[in-house]
Structure 1
Amino acid sequence: MALHTPLHTPLHSDAGGLLSYACERPLPAGTLVRVPLGRREVLGVVWDAPEGIDAPPGQRHALPEGMTLRPIAGVLEGLAPLDAPWRRLVAFAARYYQRALGEVALAALPPQLRTLSPEQLARRLRRPAQAPGATDEAMPATETLTVSAEQESAIARIAAEPGPFLLFGSTGSGKTEVYLRCVQEALQANAAAQALVLVPEINLTAQLEERLTRRFAPLFGAAAVVSLHSGMTGPQRLASWLAAHSGRARIVLGTRMAVFASLPGLAFIVVDEEHDPSYKQQEGARYSARDLAIWRGREQNAKVLLGSATPSLESWHASRPPSPENPAGGRYLRLHMPSRIGAGALPRVRRVDMGQQPRRALFSAPLLAAITERVARGEQSMILLNRRGYAPVLHCVDCGWKSDCPHCSAHQVFHKADRSLRCHHCGSTLRVPRHCPGCGSPDILPLGRGTEQLEEQLGALLSDVLRPDRTPARIARIDADTTRAKGALASQLAQVHSGQVDVLVGTQMIAKGHDFRRITLVAAVQPDGALFSSDFRAPERLFALLMQAAGRAGRDAAYMARQGTPCEMWVQSFHPRHAVFEALRRHDYPAFAEQQLQERAAAAMPPFAYQALVRADARTQQLAQGFLTAATAAAQAAGLPGREQVTLYPPVPLAIQRVANVERAQMLLESPARAALQRFLSAWQPVLQATRSQPQHKGLLRWLVDVDPLVI
């Protein structure tokens, strides 16, 4: 008999759809098989046959004369088939994000599973079923925490209503405890139930996994909680996936990739920090894990809880309450928790006009005095600068030379620690020259500032400041450069939590999700870059980053009461009266969101319109833009469905138009109707591929479609 399987191939390739193979016995849809593809043997998933392909049961499918099917190479026995809800999720993601079915399906499986033969998998399944890090030792009883009235109200409404829910809670309001209570109720209601907890970044998984294990291991066993993210080794990811697929794991904690985990008993989904752009995949199938979580919850009848102190404008709009203009309200139910646990106060926001400070000053005198006072009292401060390295660029005073990357239209960043120039786009690295390559002058100076320079200058400014124990102030830096080694981030965070660090300097890595108990002052030293960006989402991202950073201060109400001083958020800006900082001063996200949504509605931008990008990479910018222009003309000539409701803008270079010697161009598509945009994109795919095959576009390297892009 014939079976049909998607393989990991591009949508526009000849093998982009379902392929048919011969099999001696019927296999249920969802079975994993090894199949030949050319000279290779690859993993495939037995798929539901498209309508009209299969003959009636018991009859062999008729093939064109002279054609025979290649037999499958083997079946991965011992694994239950991937269930119908999982297959529908993959099919929807492939269809909506304009990717090949097999590309999404196979990428959703653990990499090691894709390489195992049936015999190797059988040996792997014979090993003791234990998730990474789990032990057979008895776990201590979990502590019972008292919840606030706001938390109790939110938990009750989540239990009573279908959702989806948007939990809008200020930083420190106890959103995580609400997540845990709701997950616990869902798992205790059904012995086969499972929960999925998504976080935006890998560095947030360790502390949450510890808390989940401490809470749920006594209730459901030591192996009840598993993690799933790209920072794990191949065997670890496979073990976690198998535990989830078999139902042994009751809770899966992971980053965006975990939204595709096989969870046959899925009953509850949590998306923490739902506003975070990290939930949007930027390579391959460019899916949004947050949006897929909503779709998956509806498909599997699982409740979905989105949580954030600064929700995305899309989620905020989708959770709007009923009004005379819109009696039905939004699709989500908004739950509000404005108060901090323990009656803790949100930080007072203090703005410093850097136009009134000495030229090139990095720290204003009032901020430096405030940091000094905190160190002397034994308190911690956090300094945020979302730019790593020592300086964004080196330049020559005499001839104007700058440290441009030879492979990208970007500067190489100066890293003083190892005297290197590094491109943060293509990764190329050079030694810092002793003289200007342009004119030979020795006067090469750093221009701008990064976290490395911030740490150095702060160390010099605080060199004479003593802690209460009369020891010098201690400064630490956390960014992508200091956390490359395995275990480095956990070690550095442990030092902060234990009080070994007085001033923490870092990028956005330190601004969200961490529960620092002794930080009483947070400062953003150079936040102006996003205020006048061409990206219409820049103010939203800046406000979220600053609100999240402010939320690291004063989280322990009892500690703040003992210290007797209020927590503070300092913002140094040349535009201290900007609307973003005015809303930040009042901690007024609703007012900020309302103002932004009014601007979006007037400009017909998301969430009031739907967008897609088509990007082309080529050896020259002319080739990249020429391909997009030709594809646009072909679409207009073909009269594709939905075309009358879709606006196609002319192609333009990307902001960083050249990366690794590849020129990049893109064009924006916009429509007031999501369905019309989807119809047009689906019909445009073969037109794009036909345009790509024309001789004049021979230098085109690749093209891709990005639906619901976050960066334009």
Structure 2
Amino acid sequence: MQKSLSPRAPRVLGIAIPSPLRRLFDYRPAGTPPSCGWVPGLRVRVSFGRRQLVGVIVECRDHSELEFSRLKPIDACLDSAPLPEDWLWLCRFTARYYQHALGDTLSHAMPVLLRQGRPFEARTRERWHATDTCSEDSPGKLARAPRQAALLEMLQQHPRGLTSQAILAQSFTREQLRALEAKGLVQCREETLTQAVTTEGKGLLASPSLTLNAEQSAVLAALHEGLDQFHPSLLQGVTGSGKTEVYLQLIEAVVGRGRQALVLVPEIGLTPQTLGRFVQRFRVPVVALHSGLTDHERLDAWQAASSGRASIIIGTRSAIFTPLASPGVIIIDEEHDSSFKQQDGLRYHARDLAVMRARHHQIPVVLGSATPSLESLLHAQRGNYRHLHMRQRATRHPPARLELTDIKARVRRGGLVPPVIDTIGATLKAGHQVLVFINRRGFAPTLACHNCGWMAECDHCDARMTLHRHPPILACHHCDRRRPLPDACPDCGSGDLRPLGSGTERSEETLGELFPDIPVYRIDRDSTRAKDAMDRILGEIRKGEPALLVGTQMLAKGHHLPHVTLVVVVNADSGLYASDFRALEHSAQLLEQVAGRAGRAAHPGRVLVQTMHPDDPNLRLLAERGYDALARTLLEERRVAALPPWRYMALLRLESPNESQLSAVANQAGTAMRGFLQHSKREVDCLGPVPAPMERRQNRYHLQLMLTAEKRSLLHEASAWWVAWLENSAEARRVRWSLDIDPQTLS
């Protein structure tokens, strides 16, 4: 009988190194191979120049372009088993689609501790239990050891046991625990920090599901039809229509079949709220993944999801890279939100990766929003996505419509005109809460001289500095430069310096003066920097007492504020006439989202929108007919203008402190690309170079070039050629550049 031959060990390992270089680096295997052999997905430590780095094996082969004798051996293999295969597939797809270095993509997609070479294993803790042989006369035997007797009594009162940390916090010692263990009275069991939970005999749910209305039931039934196949669904439901309850009951069906659910939310501020609701509903482990976790907490959650112990994973955009042992469904809440797009480094879009990941696993993906992106609406229009609607709120009140308030030639206090102030007063007198939305933090947009017109501008950016009162400084929100308030105008010497415009701090101060007996809660990035600050403020708000809420878009997204019956938008004009072609879409989505905070419970809501342009046709269309009507108009305008989502786009951004050098490189890049397109006869348009909307930022100049094409494949061919040209150009190495596939902003 012929013996089977074991596969021959590879002579060369193609390793992805965390660097901007878009290539693999060849090394020789060294040391004892892991039990799984040399396979893709293993982390290794290698010498790279003068540094030691952690890389990932991507290829195992017998040949290299370099002579075998010139290849360095790896220093160490860090894993006994490869990182999950589905994670490696997703990273390779991401690097290829977004024209990014694979090594940098892999590094971005794994927790910090794995990048540093820590073991990929779950942390454990000790849990102590009283033993079954512990008799009633045990305390008598411990008469000479009263602290041991007290410790035993405490453990007997906790059938599920207590962790070492909890026991030591009660002033007991490890010596007392070991003494009881030696007498056979207690035992210690090690458990992972995220334990798998068995639901046999208990049921999956910790609290019962809510009763669905007719629309929710129809949507849930449609989603149940495709649980075993790739089925993208766009769930468009007005704010307060109960989308989260549909998600919960869909996840109940998925987890009940032994599968996992991945839920992405746009903001870290929404994660604790969503996590709490899921923990209350299910008995299975639910973990969160977001930037607010410690490195150890993030690795614990990642490992729990990868091993299958965690059945539900909730996170922000980076959680799309979480490996899953048994994926069952992916849900993207507020799918339109621009927070799902990473704006620097690896410029990926978590929503688009979620769709591709669901296709790879052949599982359903649900994109939920009250104001879907135009990309998703076009997919639904073409039949690529199933379009599900929920047009009614779970309460009996219809969604509040926008009421436009003309503020031209009117005196304003803290940005508010008298009729709006009167309405705020009447709402508070009725015992309700008011949300004042102003999408600008700080006291005022800038400081100006009333004598000569000087304005406080940033020395490093083409932007004005924002005036803050607490502490009193001028701050640039683009480069974070700060400087003290001037005593006099630097141009004319006048001391008549006045704040121009309104920010959240100024509105907070004005409302406090107007309504001194009503608490004012300001919610922006400045007021919520401290840990748990957001939760504390929301806790006060949910008590239901009359209150004024002053907030930026942090407060506009996803929060359930049942006692708010009036929403005031201080200035709706900032997004109407911006240079970015997506500005009106994003502005309309934000207005609809903030309007959705009003009237979500027992009382109907109102939304007052202050504007200098109440006759603007797009704003009136949004106010009178809603987001759907405006979205149809914008889609047609984009089609005529040959803009996304009808065409695909890539944006090349270049920056340098040397303006002339930057201009020369940008012109060379444009000329080279047009030559390539003409020679290859590819139907791709190249536009630019042109200055970025903010040409100078952080003392660096910024230029842009744009590619557009009707076919995604043609855009990627041209983009890949451009990347290769830039990497091989000596002149391009003197500037900083990045290529953004499917950019969500031109800034």
| TM-score when normalising by structure 1 | 0.89
Match of 2:233 in 1: 165
In structure 2, relative to structure 1, the CA distance for the partners of 1:117 and 1:530 (3 Å cut) is closer
In the aligned structure 2, how far is the partner of 1:642 from the partner of 1:250?
Answer: 50
2:296 is aligned, of 193, 214, 235, to 235
Is 1:592–2:593 an aligned residue pair? no
Deviates most, 152-161 or 290-299: 152-161
Indicate conservation of the 8 Å contact 2:413/2:510, yes or no. Answer: no
Paired amino acid for 2:310: A
Question: Counterpart of 1:286 in structure 2: which amino acid?
Answer: R
Give per-residue Cα distances to partners, 1:304-323, cap 9 Å, x unaligned: 00000000000011011xxx
Q: Distance in 1 between matches of 2:728 and 2:681?
A: 18
* Aligned mates of 1:293, 1:641 — CA distance in 2: 36
What does the per-residue CA deviation read over 1:319-346, in whole Å, with 9 as the maximum and x for residues that have no partner?
Answer: 11xxxxxxxx321000000000032321
- Whether contact under 8 Å (2:123, 2:300) holds in the other structure is no
Q: CA deviation at 1:348?
A: 3.9
Structure 2 residue aligned with 1:263, among 316, 324, 331?
324
Structure 2 CA distance, aligned partners of 1:194 and 1:641? 49
Q: Write out per-residue CA displacement over residues 63-105 of structure 1, whole angstroms, 9 at most, x where no aligned residue.
A: 7546243222223345x42233322211111011110111111
Cα 1:382–1:62, aligned 2, differ >3 Å: closer, same or farther?
closer
Amino acid at match of 1:258: A
Deviation at 1:669, TM superposition (A): 1.2
Does 2:116 align with 1:101? no
Task: Please show how residues 548-627 of structure 1 align to structure 2 within 5 Å.
Answer: 548-556=593-601, 559-560=602-603, 566-586=604-624, 588-627=626-665
Indicate the larger mover: 363-372 or 204-213: 363-372
| Cα distance in structure 1, aligned partners of 2:398 and 2:121 | 56
Which whole-Å CA distance do the structure 2 matches of 1:3 and 1:667 have between them? Answer: 37
- Return the alpha-carbon distance in structure 1 between the equivalents of residues 414 and 535 of structure 2: 33
Q: Report the counterpart of residue 563 of structure 1 in structure 2.
A: none
Q: Identify unmatched segments of 5+ residues in structure 1.
A: 56-60, 321-328, 464-471, 561-565
- Aligned partner of 1:285 in structure 2 is 346
Partner in structure 2 of residue 73 of structure 1: 75
> What is the match of residue 661 of structure 1?
699
Check the 8 A contact 1:477/1:504 in 2, yes or no: yes
Equivalent position of 2:560 in the other structure = 515
| C-alpha displacement of 1:394 | 0.8
Aligned match of 1:175: 243
Rate the CA distance shift 1:375–1:10 in 2: closer, same or farther, 3 A.
same
Measure the CA separation in 2 of the matches of 1:352 and 1:577: 11
From 23, 27, 41, give the equivalent of 1:20: 27
Structure 2: distance between partners of 1:531 and 1:668: 23
1:370: Cα distance to partner?
1.4
Q: How does 1:46-445 map to 2 (within 5 A)?
A: 46-49=57-60, 54-55=61-62, 61=63, 64-65=66-67, 67-77=69-79, 80-117=81-118, 124=123, 130-131=192-193, 141-161=206-226, 162-189=230-257, 191=258, 193-216=259-282, 218=283, 220=284, 224-320=285-381, 329-355=382-408, 357-358=410-411, 362-445=415-498
Shift of 1:360: 7.5
Q: CA RMSD in A?
A: 2.4
- Structure 1 residues 604 and 499: CA distance shift in structure 2, 3 A: same
Q: Partner of 2:51 in structure 1? A: 40
User: C-alpha separation between the residues in 1 aligned to 2:640 and 2:95?
Assistant: 32
Q: Which has the larger radius of gyration?
A: 2
Check if 1:505 corresponds to 2:507.
Answer: no
Shift of 1:368: 1.3
Shift in CA distance, 48/116, structure 1 to aligned 2, threshold 3 Å:
closer
Task: Pick which of 26-35 and 107-116 moved more.
Answer: 26-35
Query: Partner of 2:436: helix, strand, or coil?
Result: strand
Tell me, yes or no, if the aligned pair for 2:414 and 2:502 is still in contact at 8 Å: no
> What SS does the aligned partner of 1:355 have?
coil
In structure 2, how many angstroms separate the alpha carbons of the residues matched to 1:199 and 1:643? 42
Aligned residue pairs, count:
663
Rounded Cα–Cα distance in structure 2 between residues aligned with 1:172 and 1:350? 19
Distance in structure 2 (CA, Å) of the matches to 1:352 and 1:270: 37
d(CA) in 1 for partners of 2:490 and 2:346? 41
Offset, 1:481: 0.8
Give me the whole-angstrom Cα distance separating, in 1, the residues matched to 2:681 and 2:299.
44
Give the whole-Å Cα distance in 2 for the aligned partners of 1:123 and 1:208: 25
Give, in whole Å, the separation in 1 of the partners of 2:248 and 2:308: 19
In structure 1, the residue corresponding to 2:395 is in which secondary structure?
Answer: helix
Q: What is the CA–CA distance in structure 2 between the aligned matches of 1:9 and 1:250, rounded to whole Å? A: 34
SS of the aligned residue for 2:345 comes to coil
- Which segment is superposed worse, 133-142 or 419-428? 133-142
What is the CA distance between 1:427 and its match in structure 2? 0.9
What does residue 666 of structure 2 align with? 628
Secondary structure at the residue paired with 1:651? strand
One-letter amino acid of the counterpart of residue 537, structure 1: R
Correspondence 1:419-498 to 2 at 5 A: 419-463=472-516, 472-498=517-543
Structure 2 runs not aligned, ≥5 long: 1-10, 127-189
SS in 1 for 2:58: coil
SS of residue in 2 equivalent to 1:704 = strand
> Given residue 3 of structure 1, which amino acid in structure 2 is its aligned partner?
L
8 Å contact 2:445–2:501 — kept in the other structure? yes
Q: Partner of 2:735: helix, strand, or coil?
A: strand
CA distance in 2, matches of 1:310, 1:639: 37
Percent identity of paired positions between Structure 1 and Structure 2: 40
CA 1:597/1:475 → structure 2, altered by over 3 Å: closer, same or farther? same
Q: SS state of the match for residue 737, structure 2?
A: strand
- In structure 2, the residue corresponding to 1:275 is in which secondary structure? coil
1:638 CA drift (Å)? 4.4
Structure-1 separation of matches of 2:68 and 2:245: 64
**Partner of 2:69: helix, strand, or coil?**
coil
Task: Tell me, in whole angstroms, the C-alpha distance in 2 between the residues paired with 1:515 and 1:270.
Answer: 19
Q: CA deviation at 1:158?
A: 0.9
Q: Secondary structure at the match of 2:574?
A: helix
CA distance in 1, matches of 2:430, 2:210: 30
Q: 2:41 aligns with which of 22, 27, 30?
A: 30
3-state SS of paired residue (2:281): helix
Quote how far apart the aligned CAs of 1:175 are. Answer: 0.4
> What is the deviation of 1:62?
6.5
Q: Distance in 2 between matches of 1:212 and 1:126?
A: 24
- Cα contact 2:45–2:117 (8 A) shared by 1: no
* Residue equivalent to 2:690: 652
1-side partners of 2:583 and 2:606: how far apart?
24
Shift of 1:577: 2.9
Other-structure match for 1:467? none
1: CA distance, partners of 2:584 / 2:735:
34
CA contact (8 A) 1:436 1:444 kept: yes
